C-alpha cells in the first residue's frame, strides 16, 4: 500500500442530507448490534460525507458492478469483514458504471477496484478478486497505517441502529428536494426555515451547502482550473475553483486560494471573497481545525 495524491474532485459530491441527519456523523459507537451494518451504497450525494469519515476511521471504497460476478463476490466478503469490525472501518460500495464521476475520481481503469481513504488520502488496497484471508491481511496493514495517522475509535452503523428523530418539516422538505436535484426548492425551504427561525444554524449551513451544490453542478474541474490559471485576476474564475476544491475535499487549497485573494483585493471585491470564505467555513464546520487555521490567516490579512 502507498499513499497517492488527494482524490480529484467528483462534481456535486457533497452530502446535504447529512446536515441534520446523524446517519454518517462520526461518534463513538457501542458493541455491534444485531443487523447493524457499516456498509452503504455510495452515490455522488453521499460521497463527500463518506470521505469525511476517513478522518476518524479507514473508509474503504469498493468500485465494481452488479453485472460482474467477481465484483459482487468481493463486495459480499468486504461487507462481512467490515461489519464484523463493529465500526472501526466503514465500507462504501460504488457501482462504477452507474456512478462514473466517482470512478473517475479514483482513476479506476478496471473493476473491481478497492481503495481505502485515510485522512482523506487514497490508499490502494487491491484490484481484482480477493479471498477473505487476503482481505484480512490487507486490513491488518491498513489498521497499522491508520494508527500511525492518528485514527482510532469507532463510528455508528449506517443501518440497524436506533431510529433517529424526524427532521423539522422544512428541513425534510429541503432534503427531499436535494435528493430530487431541485436545488432551488431546497434553497427556498431553508430560506423559509430561517425566516421563521433566524437562529436556525442547521438551516443556515444547509442553505450555504445547497448554494455550493447549485454553483458547481455544471462546472468542469479541468476547465475551471485552466481558466483560473490563465486569468489570475478573474475573481469569478478563482471563486469557481475554490468551490470545486471544497466539493472535491481539497479544503485547505480552497481556503488558501481565497485568503490570498482577500490579501490582494479591496473594497467590494474583497468583501465578496470574505463573505464566500465565511460561507465555506460554515459548510466545512466551525470546529474543523482547517477552518480555525484559515480564520487566523484571514484575520492577519484583514487587520
Each residue of 20-44: pLDDT tens digit? 232 333 323 333 445 688 999 988 8
Report, in angstroms and rounded to the nearest whole number, the Rg of the chain calculated over CA atoms: 20
pLDDT tens, position by position, 199-234: 999 899 999 999 998 998 888 888 988 998 998 888
Among 126-140, 164-178, 189-203, the range scoring the smallest mean pLDDT is 164-178
Percent of the chain with pLDDT over 70: 86
Q: Which residue would you say has higher pLDDT here, 295 or 106?
A: 295
Integer Cα distance of 126 and 301 in angstroms: 45
State how far the Cα of 90 lies from the Cα of 92, in Å rounded to an integer: 7
Partnered with residue 40 across adjacent β-strands are 92
Q: Is the pTM above the cut of 0.75?
A: no
Q: How confident is the model at residue 271 (pLDDT cuts 50, 70, 90)?
A: very high
What is 192-235 written as a DSSP string? HHHHH-TT-HHHHHHHHHHHHHHHHTT--HHHHHHHHHH-TT-H
DSSP 181: T
Tell me which of 19-28, 168-177, 238-247, 282-291 is least confident. Answer: 19-28
Q: Which three cell numbers stand for residue 208?
A: 450555504
Q: What domains are defined for the chain?
A: 16-148 (3.40.30.10), 169-302 (1.25.40)
Are 131 and 98 in contact by the 8 Å Cβ rule? The answer is no
User: Across residues 242-259, what is the average pLDDT?
Assistant: 89
Measured between alpha carbons, how far is 227 from 212 in angstroms, rounded to an integer? Answer: 19
Question: Strand, helix or coil at 11?
Answer: coil
User: How high is the pLDDT of residue 138?
Assistant: 92
Q: What is the mean pLDDT of residues 188-208?
A: 93
d(CA 212, CA 244): 9
Average pLDDT over residues 59-79: 90
Which whole number is the average pLDDT over 251-277? 92
Cα 38 from chain centre = 17
C-alpha cell at 285: 464546520
Mean pLDDT over the full length of the chain: 82
When mean pLDDT is compared across 10-19, 65-74, 242-251, the lowest value belongs to: 10-19
Residue partners of 10: CB distance under 8 A and separation at least 6: 44, 47, 48, 101, 102, 104, 105, 247, 248
Please state, in angstroms and rounded to a whole number, the distance separating the CA atoms of residues 125 and 146: 13
Region 4-19 average pLDDT: 33
Residue pair 99/44 in contact by the 8 Å Cβ criterion:
yes
Which residues, at least 6 apart from 158, have a Cβ–Cβ distance to it below 8 Å? 23, 24, 37, 38, 39, 40, 90
Decide which of 44 and 260 is more confident: 260
Q: What's the whole-number mean pLDDT along residues 104-122?
A: 87
Amino acid at each position: 500500500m502507498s499513499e497517492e495524491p488527494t482524490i480529484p474532485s467528483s462534481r456535486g459530491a457533497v452530502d446535504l442530507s447529512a446536515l441534520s441527519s446523524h446517519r454518517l456523523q462520526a461518534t463513538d459507537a457501542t458493541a455491534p448490534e444485531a443487523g447493524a451494518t457499516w456498509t452503504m451504497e455510495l452515490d455522488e450525494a453521499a460521497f463527500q460525507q463518506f470521505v469525511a469519515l476517513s478522518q476518524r476511521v479507514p473508509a474503504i471504497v469498493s468500485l465494481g458492478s452488479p453485472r460482474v460476478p467477481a465484483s459482487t463476490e468481493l463486495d459480499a466478503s468486504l461487507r462481512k469483514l467490515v461489519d464484523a469490525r463493529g465500526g472501526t472501518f466503514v465500507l462504501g460500495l460504488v457501482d462504477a458504471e452507474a456512478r462514473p464521476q466517482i470512478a473517475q475520481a479514483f482513476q479506476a481503469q478496471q473493476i473491481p477496484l478497492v481503495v481505502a481513504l485515510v485522512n482523506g488520502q487514497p490508499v490502494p488496497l487491491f484490484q481484482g478478486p480477493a479471498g477473505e484471508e487476503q482481505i484480512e491481511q490487507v486490513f491488518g496493514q491498513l489498521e497499522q497505517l491508520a494508527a500511525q495517522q492518528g485514527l482510532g475509535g469507532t463510528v455508528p452503523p449506517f443501518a440497524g441502529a436506533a431510529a433517529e428523530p424526524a427532521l423539522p418539516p422544512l428541513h425534510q422538505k429541503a432534503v427531499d428536494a436535494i435528493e430530487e436535484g431541485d436545488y432551488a426548492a431546497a434553497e427556498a425551504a431553508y430560506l423559509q426555515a430561517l425566516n421563521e427561525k433566524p437562529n436556525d444554524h442547521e438551516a443556515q449551513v444547509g442553505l450555504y451547502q445547497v448554494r455550493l451544490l447549485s454553483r458547481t453542478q455544471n462546472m468542469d474541474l479541468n476547465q475551471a482550473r485552466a481558466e483560473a490559471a490563465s486569468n489570475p485576476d478573474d475573481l469569478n474564475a478563482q471563486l469557481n475553483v475554490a468551490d470545486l476544491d471544497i466539493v472535491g475535499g481539497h479544503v485547505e487549497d480552497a481556503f488558501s486560494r481565497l485568503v490570498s485573494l482577500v490579501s490582494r483585493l479591496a473594497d467590494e471585491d474583497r468583501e465578496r471573497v470574505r463573505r464566500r470564505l465565511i460561507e465555506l467555513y460554515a459548510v466545512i464546520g466551525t470546529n474543523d481545525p482547517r477552518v480555525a487555521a484559515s480564520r487566523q490567516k484571514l484575520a492577519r490579512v484583514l487587520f
